[in-house]
């Protein structure tokens, strides 16, 4: 909740108040200390970093360091930087009209110094909210020194009849304008080396170098850089002298387990209210989606150096729900549940989020995505039912014999993509051994989740080569593995 802007409006009134000047790093460190003492959560909505990244980031802030967050895409680097704003004081005073947020008690620009000298305690001041003290720039090869640092404005020089080495003719870039603010440069290695050089003295001494004219302006900034390790080899690098001036480099990472990954996906998905009411998503479907993402992070067909962003699971979940949503709309259903064959709808979310190695390009992005789905099914299945590999001894009975015998006798079933909820459930409920398996190994499964679990068993048995699955134009058919052989003798 934002508090009311302070009423103090002149330098004289500010001097009489309790306000004291602080550097931004002191400000961040002091407010972090208070939050830690009060057991407050500093970084909200950041999952999986509680014992790794966040303690390191807090140590860097307490050390008053400039920070580099190094990690693959989709690892919440920018989100961490943006949340540092909550550690700033809510309001700070600035000299009214200053381009660079001059502190009235410690001005650094010619403009602020001259107006204070002229007006003294009557100098008007304004108040800057912490939400306006965050600057962010994506590093691209076309970024110039003028963009970041500034340049001489010849029109100003001509109008004011001043030489180019006068501060008054300078047009300040983004960094000086972020004085007393958090300044984030995303994808730092993408900056050209000569642009990175321009940051040396700012990080170390606060000096600005513009067109050969050295200005002594002790800028007060909290720098946060982000970088992808891939950039060090594919596009550029952080030059060594600049790395030396960055106090802490913190390595980010992807979630270590399915539970954390699922929490991130559910937090970030933002389904609309209509879809939330119309589409029921079984917990097992949410788990399976995360298993698929974990499979992508291990796949030999995908370039692991480029990373698998958390955005893949978010967009895949959205597509999964939308697939069920679309089916319900076409069929006129008032309520539907996600099915396993709805996972075919997440393929576009996968193909757009992965970089394939040569073998993956040969296979094709769609095929790789389809394999990831099947691998996820194969991976999650042993968590729910007895592992099939351990039940292969000849003559030994297995928990799946009754189900396999049912298919041997009944030949096949077909599950259509656009079948109604009633038709979908009837097809699966006709297979009595499926219900028996669930009652024995997953008896607490809710009525709403059972159809999805039944379908999962069928897909898993296909992956373990116990059943055959055929893709139809409008769905899938499941049949006994011997049916194709026997059909040749009919």
Q: Nearest-5° angle of CA 184, CA 187, CA 191?
A: 95
Confidence of residue 149 (pLDDT cuts 50, 70, 90): confident
How far apart are alpha carbons 368 and 66 in whole angstroms?
41
Confidence of residue 192 (pLDDT cuts 50, 70, 90): confident
Instruction: Reply yes or no on whether the pLDDT at 266 is more than 60.
Output: yes
Question: What pLDDT, on a 0 to 100 scale, did the predictor assign at position 215?
Answer: 66
Q: What is residue 230's three-state secondary structure?
A: coil
Q: What is residue 459's three-state secondary structure?
A: helix
How many Cα atoms within 13 Å fall on the side-chain side of residue 325? 14
How far apart are alpha carbons 26 and 64 in whole angstroms?
7
Instruction: Reply yes or no on whether the pLDDT at 393 is more than 70.
Output: no
Q: Where is 422: in which H helix or E strand?
A: helix 421-429
| Averaged pLDDT, 464-468 | 91
**In the chain, % of residues over pLDDT 70:** 89
The CATH architecture that domain 392-487 belongs to is Orthogonal Bundle (1.10)
Question: What pLDDT, on a 0 to 100 scale, did the predictor assign at position 145?
Answer: 84
Instruction: Reply yes or no on whether the pLDDT at 165 is more than 80.
Output: no
User: By the 8 A CB rule, do 339 and 420 touch?
Assistant: no
Q: What is the pLDDT of residues 341-388, one digit of tens each?
A: 999 999 999 998 889 999 999 999 999 999 999 999 999 999 999 988
Backbone angle region of 101, left / alpha / beta, with phi > 0 → left and psi within -120 to 50 → alpha: left
Q: What is the pLDDT of residues 305-338, one digit of tens each?
A: 888 888 999 999 999 999 999 999 999 999 999 9
How far apart are alpha carbons 224 and 91 in whole angstroms?
21
| pTM of this structure | 0.86
Return the structure tokens found at 310: 């958390």
Question: What pLDDT, on a 0 to 100 scale, did the predictor assign at position 489?
Answer: 39
Instruction: Reply yes or no on whether the pLDDT at 486 is more than 60.
Output: no
Closest CA to 249 of 238, 265, 233, 261: 238
Confidence of residue 163 (pLDDT cuts 50, 70, 90): low
Q: What is the pLDDT of residues 61-113, one digit of tens each?
A: 999 999 999 999 889 999 999 999 999 999 999 999 999 999 999 999 888 99
CA distances from residue 326 to 314, 320, 331, 341, 472 in whole angstroms, order as listed: 18, 10, 9, 13, 19
* Lowest model confidence (mean pLDDT) among 119-133, 222-236, 369-383: 222-236
Question: What pLDDT, on a 0 to 100 scale, did the predictor assign at position 223?
Answer: 95
Residue 18 gets which letter from DSSP? S
Q: Where is 475: in which H helix or E strand?
A: strand 475-480
Residue with the bigger pLDDT between 168 and 324: it is 324
Question: What pLDDT, on a 0 to 100 scale, did the predictor assign at position 124?
Answer: 96
Return the structure tokens found at 240: 């060594």
Q: What is residue 478's three-state secondary structure?
A: strand
User: By the 8 A CB rule, do 188 and 138 touch?
Assistant: no
Work out whether strand 67-70 and strand 207-210 pair parallel, antiparallel, or are unpaired.
unpaired
Write out the E strands in 119-174.
125-129, 134-138, 150-152, 170-172
Sign of CA dihedral 299, 301, 303, 309: negative
Confidence of residue 170 (pLDDT cuts 50, 70, 90): confident
Work out whether strand 150-152 and strand 91-95 pair parallel, antiparallel, or are unpaired.
unpaired
Question: What pLDDT, on a 0 to 100 scale, did the predictor assign at position 233?
Answer: 45
| Averaged pLDDT, 125-141 | 93
Question: What pLDDT, on a 0 to 100 scale, did the predictor assign at position 3?
Answer: 80
Q: What is the pLDDT of residues 413-431, one digit of tens each?
A: 999 999 999 999 999 999 9
Tell me which fold the domain 258-383 belongs to. Answer: Helicase, Ruva Protein; domain 3 (1.10.8)
Return the structure tokens found at 352: 């757009």
Burial of 484 (0-12, 13-18, 19+ CB in 10 A): exposed
Question: What pLDDT, on a 0 to 100 scale, did the predictor assign at position 211?
Answer: 65
User: By the 8 A CB rule, do 136 and 186 touch?
Assistant: yes
Q: What is residue 222's three-state secondary structure?
A: strand
User: By the 8 A CB rule, do 131 and 140 touch?
Assistant: no
| Averaged pLDDT, 455-477 | 93
Sign of CA dihedral 298, 304, 307, 309: negative
| Averaged pLDDT, 234-259 | 87
CATH class of the 11-251 domain in this structure: alpha beta
How far apart are alpha carbons 190 and 168 in whole angstroms?
32
Return the domain boundaries, the chain.
11-251, 258-383, 392-487
Return the structure tokens found at 251: 């390595």
CA distances from residue 268 to 54, 260, 261, 314 in whole angstroms, order as listed: 19, 13, 11, 7
How far apart are alpha carbons 132 and 252 in whole angstroms?
27
Q: Nearest-5° angle of CA 202, CA 204, CA 209?
A: 35
Show the 3-state SS of 311-328: HHHHHHHHHHHHHHHHHH
How far apart are alpha carbons 310 and 315 in whole angstroms?
9
How far apart are alpha carbons 94 and 96 in whole angstroms?
6
Do 392-487 and 11-251 have the same topology in CATH?
no
Closest CA to 96 of 116, 79, 78: 116
Helices 450-463 + 421-429 axis angle, to 10: 60
Mean pLDDT estimate for the chain: 89
């Amino acid at each position: 909740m934002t508090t009311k802007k302070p009423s103090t409006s002149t330098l004289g009134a500010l001097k009489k108040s309790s306000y004291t000047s602080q550097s931004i790093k002191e400000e961040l460190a002091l407010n972090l200390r208070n939050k830690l003492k009060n057991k407050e959560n500093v970084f909200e909505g950041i999952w999986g970093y509680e014992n790794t990244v966040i303690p390191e980031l807090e140590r860097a802030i307490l050390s008053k360091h400039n920070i580099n967050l190094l990690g693959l895409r989709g690892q919440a680097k920018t989100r961490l930087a943006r949340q540092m704003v909550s550690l700033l004081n809510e309001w700070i005073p600035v000299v009214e009209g200053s381009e660079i947020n001059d502190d009235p008690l410690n001005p650094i620009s010619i403009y602020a110094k001259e107006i204070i000298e002229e007006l003294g305690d009557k100098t008007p001041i304004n108040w800057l909210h912490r939400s306006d003290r965050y600057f962010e720039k994506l590093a691209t090869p076309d970024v110039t020194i003028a963009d970041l640092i500034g340049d001489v404005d010849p029109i100003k020089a001509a109008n004011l009849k001043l030489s180019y080495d006068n501060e008054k003719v300078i047009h300040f870039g983004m960094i000086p304008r972020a004085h007393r603010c958090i300044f984030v440069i995303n994808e730092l290695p993408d900056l050209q080396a000569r642009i990175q050089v321009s940051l040396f003295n700012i990080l170390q001494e606060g000096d600005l170098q513009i067109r050969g004219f050295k200005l002594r302006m002790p800028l007060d900034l909290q720098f946060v850089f982000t970088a992808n390790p891939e950039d060090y080899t594919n596009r550029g690098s952080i030059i060594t002298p600049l790395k030396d001036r960055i106090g802490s480099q913190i390595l980010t990472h992807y979630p270590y387990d399915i539970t954390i990954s699922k929490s991130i996906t559910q937090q970030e998905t933002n389904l609309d209210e209509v879809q939330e009411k119309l589409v029921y998503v079984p917990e097992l479907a949410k788990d399976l989606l995360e298993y698929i993402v974990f499979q992508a992070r291990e796949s030999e067909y995908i370039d692991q150096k480029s990373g698998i962003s958390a955005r893949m699971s978010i967009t895949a979940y959205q597509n999964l729900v939308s697939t069920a949503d679309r089916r319900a709309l076409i069929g006129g259903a008032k309520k539907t549940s996600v099915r396993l064959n709805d996972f075919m709808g997440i393929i576009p979310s996968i193909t757009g989020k992965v970089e394939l190695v040569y073998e993956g390009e040969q296979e094709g992005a769609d095929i790789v995505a389809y394999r990831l789905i099947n691998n996820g099914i194969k991976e999650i299945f042993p968590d729910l039912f007895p592992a099939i590999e351990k039940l292969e001894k000849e003559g030994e009975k297995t928990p799946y014999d009754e189900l396999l015998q049912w298919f041997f006798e009944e030949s096949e079933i077909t599950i259509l993509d656009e079948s109604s909820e009633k038709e979908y459930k009837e097809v699966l409920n006709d297979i009595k051994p499926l219900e028996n398996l669930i009652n024995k190994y997953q008896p607490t499964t809710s009525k709403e989740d059972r159809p999805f679990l039944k379908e999962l068993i069928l897909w898993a048995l296909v992956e373990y080569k116990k059943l055959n699955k055929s893709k139809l134009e409008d769905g899938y058919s499941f049949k006994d593995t011997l049916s194709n052989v026997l059909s040749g003798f009919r």
